């Protein structure tokens, strides 16, 4: 009888330990799930921002092409100093050149920023995949632990039932 009581206490200790482990895994699983959701939301925001930046870049590239066409058309007309209109034309050429230079610089900066954002998104996707794998692993371990814990609980009453009879 003492041996069975000792066995029972041992099993109850295992059960309590298993329940504490299950609770710890529940908390870890919840934290990981929340983190995955947060990363997924951030990923969606980053994708939207990247799409907006790409659209803005396309718009500026179209504007740059139009300005280049205007510049080429203006260059076909010679700049003659004797009339005021051609002087304005030359000034417009210089302004167009400056605008084109600024736009090209901006486009390069946007390209670099978009590449950095794309790299960040790829890193986030890898991290989300890692967290998802850890979550699945924890769920599997949790399920096994819970099944193992329940098997001890099921065995315990039958041992008690045999002892009492």
User: What pLDDT sits at residue 41?
Assistant: 93
The domain ranges of the chain are 2-164
Instruction: Find the helix or strand (DSSP H, E) in which 1 lies.
Output: none
Q: Give the architecture-level CATH label for domain 2-164.
A: Orthogonal Bundle (1.10)
Please tell me the pTM assigned to this model. 0.45
Please check whether residue 89 is in contact with residue 74, taking contact to mean a CB–CB distance below 8 angstroms: yes
pLDDT digits (tens, 9 = 90+) for 39-85: 999 989 988 998 998 898 888 888 888 888 887 777 776 655 555 55
- Render pLDDT for 98-131 as a digit per residue (tens, 0 to 9): 888 888 888 888 889 888 888 888 888 888 888 8
């Amino acid at each position: 009888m003492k041996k069975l009581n000792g066995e029972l206490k041992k099993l109850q200790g295992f059960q309590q330990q298993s329940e504490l482990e299950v609770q710890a895994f529940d908390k870890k699983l919840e934290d990981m799930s929340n983190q995955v959701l947060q990363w997924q939301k951030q990923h969606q925001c980053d994708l939207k921002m990247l799409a907006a930046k790409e659209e803005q870049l396309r718009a500026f590239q179209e504007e740059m092409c139009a300005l280049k066409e205007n510049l080429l058309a203006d260059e076909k007309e010679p700049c003659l100093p004797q009339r005021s209109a051609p002087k304005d034309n030359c000034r417009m050429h210089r302004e167009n050149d400056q605008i084109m230079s600024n736009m090209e610089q901006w486009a390069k900066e946007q390209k670099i920023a978009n590449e950095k954002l794309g790299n960040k998104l790829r890193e986030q996707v890898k991290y989300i995949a890692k967290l998802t794998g850890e979550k699945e692993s924890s769920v599997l371990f949790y399920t096994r632990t819970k099944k193992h814990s329940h098997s001890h609980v099921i065995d315990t009453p039958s041992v008690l039932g045999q002892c009492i009879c």
